[in-house]
Amino acid sequence: MTITSINVQTGQVEILNEVAPSFPSPVLPVEKVTRAQFCLAAKGYALLSPADAIEAAKGGWPAAFTAALQAMPGIDVADAQIVWAAATEIHRAHPIMEAMRDYLQWTPGQMDDFFTLAASL
């Protein structure tokens, strides 16, 4: 595509032999990751110890999860354990993830960064 320049005062049209600038597509937030990707990212962020990350990746429930969830208002730990044990994917928009974001005092952008990193693992 070329750029056309029009002088509004004279009406003169000039076609410039320049390529129109292209803009990168916006990066969309990652909506979901596998449980393994989530656990690898949590270990990388030091949210889980290596042993806890291994346990969580297997669908187990490390003590670090209980301690964190007990501090999150409105989250039933037993319900969270059931959801985690059955999950194959972790969804960014899940209420537990939002509670986790609040608990960690992360901005939405920081949570997006976490999920973006997780998706790359």
Is 4 within 8 Å of 16 (Cβ atoms)? yes
Is 115 within 8 Å of 92 (Cβ atoms)? yes
From first to last of its 121 residues, the chain has per-residue pLDDT tens of: 566 667 777 777 777 666 666 777 777 889 999 999 999 999 999 999 999 999 999 999 998 888 888 888 888 999 999 999 999 999 999 999 999 999 999 999 999 999 999 999 9
Cα–Cα dist 86/107, whole Å: 28
Q: Where are the chain's structural domains? A: 32-120
